């Protein structure tokens, strides 16, 4: 089996070489790009399984790099690296297609564990049925979603999240369960990843989205909505 390929886009020479070393030692085929342009070119020439993307780059805005990578590589896992102070940037990056984020400073062991979990989760099929709830049709094996008659394009994590909710329609699914099932953590501390993915799902499903927020607890996908049969 070929080794999984990880592209690191990081301009800081010290952090970049530490990441390169840690990921190579962990058995990945890792490469390092020092600018956004170099990262985009590398990803284009050798599509990676996962991209570790620093948001503070010297040439192209990191969020813009993220958006372009996502447009070209819909199946690649993108994890962004950000400074602890840049919370708004994290939300914007998740909106632009990142699957997850890590804040600097981070422990290398933690980072490697997190990336490994992401790679392990890829392509995991959550079930073998087609579920229809309130006008939304979720084809679990085909990983396709229709709202009404229209197909809704979802990214892998968005699909996994919707599947986790819809397979337990009418039940509360806790934040911890969702983080564990969809992101397979190794999860530490509060994270905006889940909330941003839920709001993206709501936006993409539009009036068909029947996700109720239970503050501090989790989410529930509603079986029936008032006025619907
Ligand atoms: Ca940087």
Rounded to two decimals, the pTM is 0.68
Ligand 1 centroid from CA 89, angstroms? 13
Ligand 1 centroid from CA 81, angstroms? 9
* CA 49 – CA 67 distance, rounded (Å): 16
In the beta sheet, which residues pair with residue 113?
none
59: number of Cβ within 10 Å: 12
Ligand 1 centroid from CA 28, angstroms? 22
Ligand 1 centroid from CA 114, angstroms? 20
Ligand 1 centroid from CA 36, angstroms? 10
Return the structure tokens found at 173.
Answer: 């699914």
pLDDT for position 203: 95
Ligand 1 centroid from CA 12, angstroms? 5
- Beta carbons within 8 Å of 31's beta carbon, 6+ residues apart: 5, 6, 7, 8, 20, 42, 46, 48
* CA 122 – CA 135 distance, rounded (Å): 27
Ligand 1 centroid from CA 26, angstroms? 23
The pLDDT tens digits along the chain (229 residues) read 568 999 999 999 999 999 999 999 999 999 999 999 999 999 999 999 999 999 999 999 999 999 999 999 988 999 999 987 777 888 899 999 999 999 888 889 889 988 988 887 765 545 668 888 888 999 988 889 999 989 999 998 999 999 999 988 888 999 988 988 888 765 555 568 899 999 999 999 999 999 999 998 999 999 865 544 4
Ligand 1 centroid from CA 196, angstroms? 23
Ligand 1 centroid from CA 149, angstroms? 44
Ligand 1 centroid from CA 197, angstroms? 25
pLDDT for position 18: 95
């Amino acid at each position: 089996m070929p080794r999984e390929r990880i592209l690191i886009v990081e301009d800081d020479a010290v952090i970049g070489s530490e990441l390169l070393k840690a990921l190579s030692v962990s058995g990945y085929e890792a490469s390092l790009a020092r600018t956004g342009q170099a990262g985009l070119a590398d990803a284009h020439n050798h599509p990676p399984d996962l991209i570790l993307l620093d948001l503070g780059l010297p040439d192209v805005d990191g969020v813009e790099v993220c958006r372009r990578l996502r447009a070209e590589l819909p199946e690649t896992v993108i994890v962004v690296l950000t400074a602890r102070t840049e919370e708004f940037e994290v939300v914007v990056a998740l909106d632009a297609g990142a699957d997850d984020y890590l804040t600097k400073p981070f422990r290398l062991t933690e980072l490697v564990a997190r990336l490994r979990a992401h790679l392990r989760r890829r392509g995991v099929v959550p079930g073998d049925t087609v579920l229809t709830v309130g006008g939304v049709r979720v084809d679990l094996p085909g990983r396709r979603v229709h709202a009404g008659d229209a197909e809704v394009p979802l990214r892998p994590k968005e699909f996994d999240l919707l599947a986790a909710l819809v397979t337990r329609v009418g039940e509360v699914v806790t934040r911890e369960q969702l983080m564990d099932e969809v992101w397979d953590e190794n999860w530490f501390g509060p994270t905006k990843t889940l909330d941003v993915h839920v709001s993206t799902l709501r936006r993409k499903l539009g009036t068909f989205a029947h996700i109720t927020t239970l503050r501090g607890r989790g989410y529930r996908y509603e079986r029936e909505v008032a006025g619907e049969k």
